[in-house]
């Protein structure tokens, strides 16, 4: 009886080892393709946020990872890409998160000029309710375009809110929490740029392939 149990245990161990080896091989083979697809997706979003800029690997390498839960919405580092003209930063492309969406985190890319004018923004991932909160997506409505060319200052926070809260941005019928969260995230991303002019001169600390 004990012998049979030992044999079964040995067989299970072999099967488990084979499964782990197969999974490791599959991961090694697919990881480069997954990384390539993720990079292509990020490039597409950056081009969509600000079509007039040249989005390539040079832009991705001119990047600073920063940690700011208060302004960028995550405890983990977020990336800020820097697009330069004649050596000077003309646009920051900021990864930001609205942590208070109706169904959780809403991740965005926000294009901001050095004087904290929002040039464009896009939601890149969310779990908001279809037909209601998902109107923050550019393919669902034009709402996300309403931030373009609007400046953020330390004194105009009341304007950077939905109309229900006395601000200038529309909310959605039956869904106020989602747009409220996105408006706040965009405003905070721009304020971060405004309050950190040293971003232009700090050395890059992101991997070019990320």
Q: What is the mean pLDDT of residues 94-122?
A: 95
Tell me, what's the pLDDT at 167?
Answer: 96
Which region among 7-16, 27-36, 91-100, 157-166 has the lowest average model confidence (pLDDT)?
A: 27-36
Indicate the average pLDDT of the chain. Answer: 84
Summarize the confidence of residues 32-46 as an average pLDDT.
63
pLDDT in tens, 130-150: 988 899 999 899 999 999 999
Q: Which helix (H) or strand (E) holds 11?
A: helix 2-49
pLDDT at residue 165, as a whole number: 95
37-41, 110-114, 179-183: which has the minimum mean pLDDT? 37-41
- The larger pLDDT score, comparing residue 210 to residue 15, is at 15
Report yes or no: 122 and 116 within 8 Å, Cβ to Cβ. no
Q: What is the mean pLDDT of residues 154-159?
A: 92
Taking CA 129 as the corner, what is the angle to CA 125 and CA 131, rounded to the nearest 5 degrees? 105
Residues present in the chain in total:
210
């Amino acid at each position: 009886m004990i012998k049979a149990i030992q044999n079964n245990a040995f067989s299970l161990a072999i099967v488990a080892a084979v499964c782990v080896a197969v999974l490791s091989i599959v991961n090694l083979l697919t990881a480069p393709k997954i990384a390539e697809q993720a990079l292509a997706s990020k490039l597409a979003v950056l081009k969509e946020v600000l079509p007039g800029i040249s989005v390539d690997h040079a832009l991705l390498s001119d990047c600073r990872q920063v940690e700011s839960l208060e302004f960028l919405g995550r405890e983990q580092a977020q990336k800020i890409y820097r697009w330069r003209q004649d050596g000077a930063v003309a646009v920051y492309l900021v990864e930001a998160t609205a942590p208070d969406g109706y169904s959780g985190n809403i991740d965005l890319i926000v294009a901001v000029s050095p004087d904290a004018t929002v040039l464009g923004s896009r939601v890149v991932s969310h779990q908001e309710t279809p037909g209601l909160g998902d109107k923050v997506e550019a393919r669902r409505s034009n709402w996300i375009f309403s931030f373009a060319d609007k400046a953020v200052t330390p004194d105009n926070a009341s304007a950077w809110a939905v109309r229900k809260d006395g601000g200038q941005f529309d909310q959605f019928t039956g869904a106020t929490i989602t747009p409220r969260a996105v408006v706040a995230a965009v405003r905070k991303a721009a304020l971060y740029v405004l309050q950190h002019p040293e971003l232009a001169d700090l050395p890059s600390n992101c991997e070019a392939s990320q």
